[in-house]
Structure formats: structure tokens, C-alpha cells
Amino acid sequence: MKSEIKIKAVRLPYELVNCIFVARENDDLASLGFTENEITFIQAQRKDEKRCIALQELNNIRAVYFPDSTKSSAVNKEKARIEAAGLCTKINASKIKSITVVANGLDDIGLAIAEGLALANYQFLKYFTDASKKRHSLESIDFAGECDASQLTALESVILGTYRARDLVNEPPIFLTATEYAQQIKMLGKEAGYKTEIFEKAKIQSLKMGGLLAVNKGSQDPPTFIIMEHKTSGAVNKKPIILVGKGVVMDTGGLSLKPTPSSMDYMKSDMAGSAAVVGALYAIARADLPINVIGLIPATDNRPGENAIVPGDVISMFNGMTVEVLNTDAEGRLILADALAYAQKYKPELVIDLATLTGAAARAIGDQALVSMGTAPEAVHAELEICGYETYERLARFPFWDEYGEQIKSDIADIKNLGGPEAG
């Protein structure tokens, strides 16, 4: 039972029920259908600096959101998403199936409200025996604004791509093996419109992807290497953009075993980077964006089985480089290295890899942003930072200095998979 949502354009409804209005400070609220008593209530709430005021009677919710004219567009949109998420709880508690967002000439804020509602409406109910009783009532979001249908299609595609990514992250390891993960990605490709190719273990061995094979040695399940592709004749880029995602479907740490509380018990989500790649390809293909994109996912679990690699082992990677493995819990970089090297065969315009790679990043900046680093041109970094700020998926750039290479020099191999205690 997957989460679904419909987002469609409508004209301003004749009967203004179950609506969320975007309003400026000087707007005539009576023209939006509010009574004198309701306007008095709203104005009193505004004196307490509330920006989202909800009025509710029986199964009718009407709310009004006032953007903050002193804040940037990006901040206003994020605040609108957060307020909409709170409204979503009230909407579902009232068993309302459809809500209308009335943009009132402020489409960017209206779209952010629709996005916040949709994201907050997500549920993962697959393993509940009473799922039908828990299911949210909200099924559709109508949008009364000036934007064209393509913008709403794009938003709906992003929402559904996010839903699919969340579903994959929420699946338990007993179900989502590397083999099953590949099949799920293939099924989603048929649903959205991207092509999928799956390399099984024999193919991975023939390609000598030593990082992926080494991490998989302790597992009872074989690894997979998944290739997703969205290609269109009218693409704005001739060389593909490649998204690489870490697909460790369960990370125990291997023989460098993780503690369980607040660590291993969350490690089914160590494939979240690759789930984000799947979600992105899903959204891009579903919206049929004019861009050539390839997704690469090396997938395996990392377990301390009888054949598992041990600290001190030396492995040979896809590109021929040798690596001394000093910590088997530093496995993500091993499988990603094979995928990043494989990506070069496509002569890409840009490669972006997404991973839940190290707790050092979270300890440095908290959970308010993502850490980025790399060798891409300055203009690419700047554009990603701008896009990240606009969507409030903010990036904090870390340095990628040559001197850090000294930390991964090995006495017995080309490099080692562990740096020093500082610099992550």
C-alpha cells in the first residue's frame, strides 16, 4: 500500500471550503471569503506574530498563510512547507480527502504549501496489519494559481520520487537484499520511464569490482550493480550527468562491528544515498525532463560472515588501484570507488555521488544541511549551492585539498581506506 498524492490545477472554487489561502499583509480578507468575525480572529492571531492561522468547523478547514516580507524567498518557502506540514495533521484528523491551495498571485509560496502538504502526507504502512485504518484521508491537492500544468507535473513527480525513495529506505533488510533492491529499482523504472540494467555477481566479478566484492564477502546474499538511464533526443546535455549512490542495504560494520543502540539499528538506511538517486531518476523520467542522466548504484550488505574481509586485508579495485582495508566499517568508500571509476566509461559532463558516508559530517554541521566536496569547477559548486538554498536542501562545502591525500597513504598498498582522527 504505497503513498500516493494527486496535484492538479483548478480554477478558484466557487465554494471556499477546505482551502489554504496565501495572503499579503494588506490583502482584503473579505474578498477571500472570510466573515467579519473570522477576520477579527485572524487579525488577533497576527498580533501574536502567527503567520498561519487555521479556522475549522466540522469537516471544513480554511487557513490563511502570510509570508514574511522581511525574509528571502527561499526562507519564506521553507516556512510555508513547515506550516503546511502542521496543517496536514489537522486535515487528516478531519478526514478531508481534498484541499485547495489558493495562491492569490503568490504561486511560489502556494507551490511550497502544496509541497509541504504532500511531503507530510507520506506514510509507510506496508507492515501494519491494520494499515487501512491508519491510512491518511488526504488524496489530492488542488492548486488555484497562475502556474502552468508542467510546473504541477514537475512538483507531483518530485513528490512521488521522494515517496519512492522513502519507501526504499523504510524497507527492512530481511526484504531489501541487494538482489531485491535491484528488482524494485527495475519495477520503478517501468513505472516512471527510465531504463534499468542489472549486473549480477558473475558480471561484477568479470569487471573486477574489488571494492564491491570485498564488502560483500561476509554476506549470504550476492551483490548487484544497477544502472538506470533517462535519455532524450532533445536533451540540453550531450554528455550525461551521472548520479552515483551508496547502496549498502544493511551496514553492521562488518568485523569492525557497530554498536546496536542508535547506530546499527538505523543502518538499514545506509542505502539512503542510492535511494535519493532512484527518487531523482524517477522524478526526472516521470516529468520527462530534457536531460540525459545515468544513475549508478553498487548494492550489497556489510556483514561479519565467515568469509568477511578483515582489517589488514588488501584488495584490488575496478581501476586497478590497491587498497589496504584498516576498518571494515569504512565500506561505503570502497563500493563507491568502483562505481565512480566505472562512471568514467560514459565520459560524463558531471558526476555527483550521494552517500550516508561518515558521521563526521553530521558532527561538523548538524542536520540542517548536507556536506559537499569535490573537484568539479567552481561554477558547478556555486550553482549547486544556489539550488540547494532555493529548495532548502542546503549545502555546506568542505575543502578537498591535496594534502589530505597524505592521510590515506599506506605502507603496503597504493592507499588505505582510513584517514587520521581529524578531517573526517
Residue whose C-alpha is closest to residue 61's, from 7, 97, 113 = 97
Residue percentage of the chain with pLDDT more than 90: 87
pLDDT at residue number 424: 65
pLDDT at residue number 363: 87
In the predicted model, residues of the chain with pLDDT beneath 50 are none
Would you tell me how many other CB atoms lie within 10 Å of the CB of residue 146? 13
Tell me the three state secondary structure of residue 161: helix
Side-chain-side CA neighbours of residue 189 (13 Å): 20
Q: Tell me the three cell numbers of residue 316.
A: 584490488
Phi and psi dihedrals of 287, rounded to 5?
-85, -5
Query: Are 295 and 227 spatial neighbours (Cβ–Cβ below 8 Å)?
Result: yes
258 has catalytic annotation: yes
Neighbour order of strands in the sheet with 60-65: 6-9, 140-144, 98-102, 19-22, 60-65, 52-57
Amino acid at the residue 318: F
Contacts of 32 (CB under 8 A, 6+ apart): 16, 21, 23, 64, 102, 104
Tell me the three state secondary structure of residue 261: coil
Would you tell me how many other CB atoms lie within 10 Å of the CB of residue 356? 23
> Could you tell me the domains of the chain?
6-147 (3.40.220.10), 174-357 (3.40.630.10)
pLDDT at residue number 147: 92
pLDDT at residue number 362: 85
Catalytic residue among 258, 286, 397, 409: 258
Catalytic residue among 164, 201, 217, 333: 333
pLDDT at residue number 58: 75
Class of residue 95 by CB neighbours under 10 A (exposed 0-12, middle 13-18, buried 19+): exposed
Side-chain-side CA neighbours of residue 50 (13 Å): 13
Per the DSSP assignment, residues forming a β-bridge with 353 are 244
333 has catalytic annotation: yes
Q: Tell me the three cell numbers of residue 204.
A: 561484477
pLDDT at residue number 124: 98
pLDDT at residue number 15: 67
- The sign of the torsion formed by the CA atoms of 85, 90, 91, 92 equals positive
pLDDT at residue number 423: 76
In degrees, rounded to 5, the angle at the alpha carbon of residue 134 between the alpha carbons of residues 128 and 137 is 140
